[in-house]
Amino acid sequence: MKNTPFLKFHQDAGAKIVPFAGYNMPVEYSGINDEHITVRERVGVFDVSHMGEFWITGPSSLNFLQNITSNDVSVLFDGKIQYSCFPNGKGGIVDDLLVYRYNPEKYLLVVNAANIDKDWKWCVQNAKRFGLNVGKELINASDGIAQLAVQGPLALKAMQKLTKTSIEDMEYYTFKVIDFAGIKDVILSTTGYTGAGGCEIYVKNEDGAKLWKAVFDAGKEFNIKPIGLGARDTLRLEMGFCLYGNDINDQTSPIEAGLGWITKFTDKKDFIDKALLTAQKKNGVTKRLRGFVMIDRGIPRQHYEVVNARGGQIGEVTSGTMSPMMKQGIGMAYLNKGYWETGSEIFIRIRNKDLKAKVVDLPIYKKT
């Protein structure tokens, strides 16, 4: 198992450490509910150093990315970030990812921790068609980068203390390369997996300890706390953000997953699976990923059956939990055609009981 540069800090804070995506990672500190509410209401810090980072450079980089990703990379400007996915050539998804544009010939891809090796092989396999030089124009920098996600409504206010560059007014899904906490060339992006606002901060591994101490010192007045993977999952699920391996995988298409908004069918973009996904968009699909809220009391979990009022199976839960903010069971599920309309009554089979739920639009949790 690998360790991030922050493992000692997690242990000192009393975190419960578990193996995750090949790393020893903190799953919780003070408890998932407490950590979840901390992020929704104030500011919390996640160690996300396990995520993968690939650099793409050179004159072929845009054409390569236009082919290998579903979204339209050509609309990006310097300092802009885009959510996208890698179609797998069979109608499924290799992974979902973020694309950072530095300039027309320099991009950073941020991929999921559990898929780093798989994604790297996919990129290398496809790079050959575009003449990209692996190791020079296509670089896997994952093992050398540490990352903290500082999330919550007070996150940017707290982090502003650590840089002279204005960050509180940054637009969502943008980034800057700045001096931060006395560290040069820090990537600070207004991204995250919580829907609570905030930023993600990338540094070299050797600067990790300095970053951790500075971030917690700056956030002290806001009662900043370290947050584990458990609350990261409940936070993303309240927003309806997909988790690879649960809600999307090699067998689910972006259209089925409700990711048509990151699948761009423009004349100037010829991407893997374009014809297949165009047909799905035109002709429709037989299942769709939708959010739901429990009406009856119960906690849905992955792989639970979704049934209709007569008990016939109409889908399967992909992610589920008890929402710390709503105090209700919530989840996402693939539902058969005819059952996925907003407001539809469905039932989740939990311990042989069919408990009532209703289909809702995303985000599932809507702050009032």
Record the pTM: 0.97
CA angle (202, 205, 207) in 5-degree steps: 80
pLDDT of residue 98: 98
pLDDT of residue 268: 87
> DSSP string covering 66-103, please?
HHHSSS-GGG--TTBEEEEEEE-SSSSEEEEEEEEEEE
Q: How distant, in Å, are the alpha carbons of 40, 200, 296, 361 from that of 334?
A: 27, 30, 20, 14
pLDDT of residue 367: 85
For residues 272 and 323, give the distance between their C-alpha atoms in angstroms, rounded to a whole number: 37
For residues 15 and 20, give the distance between their C-alpha atoms in angstroms, rounded to a whole number: 14
For residues 327 and 180, give the distance between their C-alpha atoms in angstroms, rounded to a whole number: 38
pLDDT along the chain (368 residues), means of 10: 97 98 97 98 98 98 98 98 98 98 98 98 97 97 98 98 98 98 98 98 98 98 98 98 98 98 96 98 98 98 98 98 98 98 98 98 92
Residue boundaries of the structural domains of the chain: 1-284, 286-362
Residue 110, strand partner residues: 53, 98
* Amino acid letter, 357: A
CB 27 within 8 A of CB 15: yes
pLDDT of residue 116: 98
- Fold of the 1-284 domain: Gyrase A; domain 2 (3.30.1360)
Q: How distant, in Å, are the alpha carbons of 49, 320, 325, 332 from that of 35?
A: 19, 18, 12, 22
Domain 286-362 has CATH 3.60.21.10: no
3-class secondary structure, 44: strand
